Structure 1
Amino acid sequence: IITTAKSRFTRTRVGKTLVVTTAAAAVAVGSVTGAQAFADPAEAVPEQGGQTAGSVYANRVIVPTSLIAGAARGQEYTYWSPGSDERLHLSTATLLEPKGKTPSAGWPVLVWAHASNGWNQSCAPSKTRNGADDAAVTRLLKQGYAVISPDYAAVGMPGAPQYSDVSATAHNIVDAVRAGSDVGESDLSPKWAVVGEGQGASAAVELARNGASWQSGRLDFRGATATSIPAGYDDLVTNLSPSSQPVPKGVVADVLYTLAAQEPDDVKSILSTRGTALVEQARTLCSAALAKEIGGTQLADLVSRPLSSNAKLAAALRKSLAIPSRGFSRPVLMSQRLMDPTVVVPTSLEYVTQAQFASNKVTMKTYLTGDDAAARKQERSAVDAYLEDLF
């Protein structure tokens, strides 16, 4: 099945067969005959013109032995989605369906909008299993949701600022749902919501504002949950300088990934020797490995001059990294633990407080305990209850 310049994805029982374009490997129905059966986002994008955002490029059935706990069946698919460069890119997502009888209206759909794990394509969820992500998706499957896990657009592509672009990531999620509705067909309900964490939380908040207007067809966006929201990240990055204050190591890693996603010529003049070495490593290492390389390095050690000295880069990053605090059209749960190594907690707490005052669509949750395990348990319960109310 080939996407053409005038036609969106042609509908057949793609959920039971393997769909490829002529550029993909040859396959037999329901089985894979090549080492890779679908288009790889890291490979050269076919120049077909007229591709439609959210249209499927190819898909393949996931063999049962590769499914995570709680999944009855699954598919991996590539689809088209625009980046901040206003070009369409191929991206990859995974669709998992829970065990049990499919409801007459189809499984309600949740998008697991994961936190950043790295800029290199090998770090994407479809390439590398992550224990925390698997646990989160398994929990959602066991509650009776179909789960879509997108890689996000242009991961691993040189000069790909959309990796750190909130709006581009949010659009990528909507397109993953559009494409997933074709891949999953009648097994899926048109009702969907987003569960976002970290980088994914920023996109979830953006979708609470714009997702309803971006969706198409019979899709019915219900709302979002956002945990560990990187509030103020736009200020932190654009104010990066030799006098930047210390932040958690996870935030340092995110900054390195953001810098690695920019054109090398745009950042080389501001980086210190240490910063240059770590940005180069951020182009290949996933988060756990990069954290080891960071060691005790802080933001101030990364640069020899302020990032604002490149006014064009600073303006572009401020625009792409900003997250909204008002104007929401769908309900959103904003949750923040008191102990969180992935964000600057005081800034995140200030943001969610202001957002709740500014919009009646926002529900704020905090957990008055310094015990991280207890706080995580309370947060999971709050997210689960909120999702149930959305549907």
Structure 2
Amino acid sequence: MAIRSTLILSTAAALLGGVGMFTPIADATPATSIDVLPRLIDGAAAGYALSYPTIDEHGRPAIARGQVYLPSGTPPAGGWPVVSWAKGTVGVGDSCAMSTALDDGVAEDPMAVELSKPLLTALLRSGTAVVSTDYIGLGTTDAHHYLNSVSEANAVTDIVGAAADELPELSRTWVAAGHSQGGAAALTTGARADIYGEESDFRGVMAFAPSSNLEAILPLLSPSTPRITPLDNITATLIYVLYGLRDSRPDIDVDSYLTELGRDYLAQADDTCISELRQRVIDVAPQQLLTRPLSDPAMASALHEYLAVPTTGYTRPVAIEQGLADTVVPPALTTALSAELVAAGVRDVTYLPVPGATHHDVISATVDDALPRILAMVR
């Protein structure tokens, strides 16, 4: 049942008036703008850039941008089935977004977009449309609340209805799928499918190396935490999480937990996309950013509310693929998440550990398995 209201739509329409990114095509609604994409991914016969209304984690209206790709041929009766693809991490600044790359005519797409193309191309060639949000705050006036599970899931859900409203070739039968940051967003979308969004035919979730259980890991960090080299892999993630949390929860006073070095990194977070940031902090331990333990009750509670992937609420199939050579999303965390879903009574969960696969090749390594799973859900 939808929780969006006329007030939200009218406010979003007003906000869109200041965005000015797209020229609406014929019959576009006041709340959504759409334009033809300047370039397509392999397998797409047509593509559109979309700016659409959604809702953040506090229930406030917001705008997100994204892309829509249509397959070749004649749509089946009722329209093309849809996969709402949730991108992996690109960064928190507008310059990192796919929508910005398209606007600016950048030759290379963000790395997270490149990693997903083997699967997206296979989906398009199989007769499945793809919609893909850039999330709130990437290419829009808002700050990006990185890894906030609710706001990202809302954007994943709302692009489906917004695209179908504009393009009659699309059905409202859909699956949520995503990688890393997007894997967590896709899972949260599945958990919230019965309580959020317009009426649609939602069929299930496919998640690749989903970020999870960070709300249990980050509160272990303090200035005195012993330096353990594998922990250094989360320094960039911590910077982006605290950047988003600072904007989402000003009551927490995130800056009071940060050293001067930590404040400097947060100040520059929206100028540095993920690949560059990881290189810049390769020798920086997360502890070096902190003056106070993140186990402080107010901070630990805020991190849990902000980050947690739900373990209940799923009423459609869930499949999770995880590379066992992943050093970005540790396999142990994904294994724990899968066990938590089963323990919570989620009935249809499939967990597929992939020997040898890393964070960056898990999608390409599992296309032959993931594609039929997704098609079985959506058809």
TM range (shorter): 0.7 to 0.9
* RMSD, aligned CA: 3.0
Tell me the residue number matched to 1:253.
236
- Give yes or no for the alignment of 1:389 onto 2:376: yes
1:112–1:376 Cα change, 3 Å: closer
1:134–1:248 Cα change, 3 Å: farther
- Give yes or no for the alignment of 1:341 onto 2:327: yes
**Structure with the larger RCO, 1 or 2 (CA within 8 Å, 6+ apart):** 2
Tell me the residue number matched to 1:331.
317
- Give yes or no for the alignment of 1:173 onto 2:173: no
Question: TM-score scaled to structure 2, two decimals?
Answer: 0.82
- Give yes or no for the alignment of 1:354 onto 2:349: no
Deviates more, 1:267-276 or 1:281-290: 267-276
Tell me the residue number matched to 2:176.
194
5+ residue gaps, structure 1: 10-19, 26-35, 40-53
* C-alpha distance after superposition, 1:321-354 (max 9, x if no partner): 1112233111110221111122122122222133
Match of 1:294 among 281, 285, 289: 281
Question: TM-score scaled to structure 1, two decimals?
Answer: 0.80
* Aligned-pair CA distance for 1:361: 1.7
Structure with greater proportional helix content: 2
* C-alpha distance after superposition, 1:153-200 (max 9, x if no partner): 123778847433101111111111111111212x01221001111111
- Give yes or no for the alignment of 1:97 onto 2:82: no
1:204–1:374 Cα change, 3 Å: closer
- Indicate the SS of the match to 2:57: coil
Deviates more, 1:300-309 or 1:334-343: 300-309
- How many equivalent pairs are there? 349
Q: Is the 8 A contact 2:188 2:310 kept in 1?
A: yes
Q: Percent identity?
A: 26
Structure 1 Cα separation of the partners of residues 50 and 317 of structure 2: 29
Match of 1:144 among 114, 120, 127: 127
5+ residue gaps, structure 2: 102-108
- Give yes or no for the alignment of 1:222 onto 2:222: no
- In the alignment, residue 380 of structure 1 is paired with which amino acid? V
Q: Map residues 264-343 of structure 1 onto 2, 5 A cutoff.
A: 266-309=253-296, 311-343=297-329
- Indicate the SS of the match to 2:295: helix
Match of 1:61 among 17, 21, 36: 36
- In the alignment, residue 229 of structure 1 is paired with which amino acid? P
Match of 1:37 among 19, 22, 38: 22
1:135–1:250 Cα change, 3 Å: farther
- Indicate the SS of the match to 1:211: coil
- Give yes or no for the alignment of 1:203 onto 2:185: yes
1:332–1:315 Cα change, 3 Å: same
- In the alignment, residue 309 of structure 2 is paired with which amino acid? I
1:384–1:273 Cα change, 3 Å: same
Deviates more, 1:351-360 or 1:91-100: 351-360
